[in-house]
Structure 1
Amino acid sequence: MKARIWGARGSLPVALNHAQVRAKLVAALECAIGRGLDTPAKIAAYVDHELPFDVRGTYGGNSSCVEVEVWDPDTSRQHVILDLGSGARALAGAKLARYGRDHPQTYHVFMSHLHWDHIMGFPFFTPAYIPGNRIIIYGCHAELEQAFRRQQDPISFPVRMEQMAAHIEFRVLAPGKPVDIDGLRVTAMLQLHGGDSYGYRLEHGGRALVYSTDSEHRLDDMAQRLAFVEFFRDADLVIFDAMYSLAEAISVKADWGHSSNVVGVELCQLAGVHKLCLFHHEPVQGDTQIARVLEETRRYAEVTGEAPLEVVSAYDGMEIDLGAP
């Protein structure tokens, strides 16, 4: 099982601006002084191994979209996607480049909820326009199909749903009732968010991945806390909404429907999770801020946990290989 992050941002896609790009260049050049970087090989090694990630790269700006590789991509024509934020466009391009238009594919898409930042990539999801493809969109909201069709209405987009050439279907799920797809078991869980959202636990071949974004965790709700601990139990990877700091989540941004890095660590430690991926980054946070949060989270996990918990921060293009069982 492998996770690919195509969109790591929350609420709104963002792009690096001129000042941010310039700051990265200045930081990289300042660090290069006196290093004798006089060949392409030395420059490449310096960039790849000596510069911190927030200088040499970026956490990205696409809104939520995660691919989970479950089956062998060389033999299977089925794919699993979690949410269709703006990152879905890049995912679509990668699939088109690999499989072309002449080999029909099936895409199983599980929606956490129907807010715009999580569905906005669908009109640009190229497989939906290719005859022979099958797009199956799963979710727990009764308005699942309505939300996607409304986005394609002429007032919002020039291509109606009926003009998409792929076979598109919608399946409404019941929380707590697993769905089985060729050995993959997917279970949804209700989360606290405006209009409701749902986390997903994916299990296949002895591996477990939990996708839990747009979920608020109230510190005084012990029943909810214990329920999430069981939902996360022994997962190899938890992709977790860490949009706010703990202070923000319990004060000025309480009831906004998002969580924090600290709560993510505590839930994962209680559940015996192996790896925590901080996700749904705040749009106003730049790469330096996100990198700082990651380091703080790692220190917190180290000093509070009895068992090791690996902590990473999601970025567009990231791959997390959970390995074979």
Structure 2
Amino acid sequence: MKARIWGARGSLPVALTHKQIRTKLQAALEGAIGRDLDTAEKIAGYVDELPFELRGTYGGNSSCVEVEAWDTDAIHEHIILDLGSGVRALAGAKLARYGPGKPQTYHVLMSHLHWDHIMGFPFFTPAYIPGNRIIIYGCHEELETAFRRQQEPISFPVAFHQLGATIEFVQIEPGVPTQIRDVTVTAKLQLHAGDSYGYRLEKNGKALIYSTDSEHKLDNAAERVAFVDFFRDADLVIFDAMYSLADSISVKADWGHSSNVVGVELCQLAGVRQLCLFHHEPIYDDAQISRVLAETRRYAEITGEAPLDIVSAYDGMEITL
């Protein structure tokens, strides 16, 4: 399996400001002083040496992850986790690859129905193309209502009933495995306003966990054990690390999100191989997200007996299990 991040931010999309771009450019040019960068090749090499927060960006789209579980050139079916603003870019990539004339099936697993996780759907071009099939899975009874309400005339110019694709809603039960072709999907209830659900996807001995918008109470031993079991031996955990530990247990307690430290502890206890920090705080710039990543790696190094690979999600990232 392969995970492809299309949107890594939480709460709302953000964009780089002119000041942030200028700061990146200035730092990069200062680093080039005295270097012999007189060819395109040398310049490219220098750029590759820059830290990620200068040469790139973690991006600004809200939550959307694609899971590639088979050869989609042969099997025109796709798995998507959440429909934040990042799904617009996903749609563009699929149309560029397959064109509008080859019907596709999209299996969408919804963590919950808050706006930052559904806001990309009205801009998901495949939904407008007859012949496509979109199957939206979730544990909320209001699943269909949320999508229809978002496209009511007061909010959007195209009503839900005008979409050309065949759109289906499937309510699933937490803890009861669901099959999407040869991928086994199991949902787990998480602590978040209005409830959210994490997903464990398994195929051919590989396991991917998507656990966003989930708060973890450190004094609840039973909950900790349950999540350790849910994460057990996963190859990749995509984890809501929106806040610092201090924020998550003080000023932002009960806000429905977790921290990098809690993510490390759960993954260490569960024997996870790779942790992907996700659902970035919208006020964090690239430099701050990079600092969080460095601090998280250092914490894992100090506290863990077994190695835990830690990365920070960015729009466009691909992770092969």
TM class by shorter-chain length? over 0.9
Q: Which runs of 4+ in 1 moved over 2 A?
A: none
Q: Which residue does the alignment assign to 1:104?
A: 103
5 Å-filtered alignment, 1:1-325, equals: 1-48=1-48, 50-322=49-321
Per-residue CA deviations over 1:107-150 (Å, capped at 9, x if unaligned) read: 00000000000000000000100110000000000000000000
Quick one: distance in 1 between partners of 2:67 and 2:309?
19
Query: How much has 1:303 moved relative to structure 2?
Result: 0.8
Amino acid at match of 1:311: I
Per-residue CA deviations over 1:249-290 (Å, capped at 9, x if unaligned) read: 000000000000000000000000000000000000000000
Quick one: distance in 1 between partners of 2:72 and 2:56?
28
Amino acid at match of 1:52: P
Quick one: distance in 2 between partners of 1:192 and 1:292?
27
Quick one: distance in 1 between partners of 2:9 and 2:278?
7
Quick one: distance in 2 between partners of 1:204 and 1:134?
23
Query: How much has 1:74 moved relative to structure 2?
Result: 2.0
Per-residue CA deviations over 1:84-107 (Å, capped at 9, x if unaligned) read: 000000000000000101111000
Per-residue CA deviations over 1:222-260 (Å, capped at 9, x if unaligned) read: 100000000000000000000000000000000000000
What is the aligned-residue RMSD (CA, Å)?
A: 0.4
Quick one: distance in 2 between partners of 1:262 and 1:269?
11
Quick one: distance in 2 between partners of 1:138 and 1:152?
19
Per-residue CA deviations over 1:143-177 (Å, capped at 9, x if unaligned) read: 00000000010000010111100000101111000
Per-residue CA deviations over 1:175-233 (Å, capped at 9, x if unaligned) read: 00010121100000000000000000000121100000000000001100000000000
Quick one: distance in 1 between partners of 2:243 and 2:145?
30
Query: How much has 1:73 moved relative to structure 2?
Result: 1.9
Name the SS for the 2:251 alignment partner: coil
Quick one: distance in 1 between partners of 2:15 and 2:128?
27
Quick one: distance in 2 between partners of 1:79 and 1:105?
8
Structure 2 unaligned spans of 5+: none
Amino acid at match of 2:146: A
Quick one: distance in 2 between partners of 1:182 and 1:243?
32
Structure 1 unaligned spans of 5+: none
Name the SS for the 1:298 alignment partner: helix
Name the SS for the 2:261 alignment partner: helix
Name the SS for the 1:290 alignment partner: helix
Quick one: distance in 1 between partners of 2:57 and 2:223?
34
Q: Percent identity at matched positions?
A: 78
Name the SS for the 1:210 alignment partner: strand
Name the SS for the 2:216 alignment partner: coil
Quick one: distance in 1 between partners of 2:263 and 2:277?
8
Quick one: distance in 2 between partners of 1:165 and 1:196?
31
Name the SS for the 1:27 alignment partner: helix
Corresponding pairs, count? 321
Quick one: distance in 2 between partners of 1:145 and 1:173?
13
Amino acid at match of 1:240: F
Amino acid at match of 1:126: T
Per-residue CA deviations over 1:2-56 (Å, capped at 9, x if unaligned) read: 00000000001000001000000001000111111110000001101x1000000
Quick one: distance in 2 between partners of 1:73 and 1:57?
28
Give the alignment's TM-score, normalised by structure 2.
Answer: 1.00
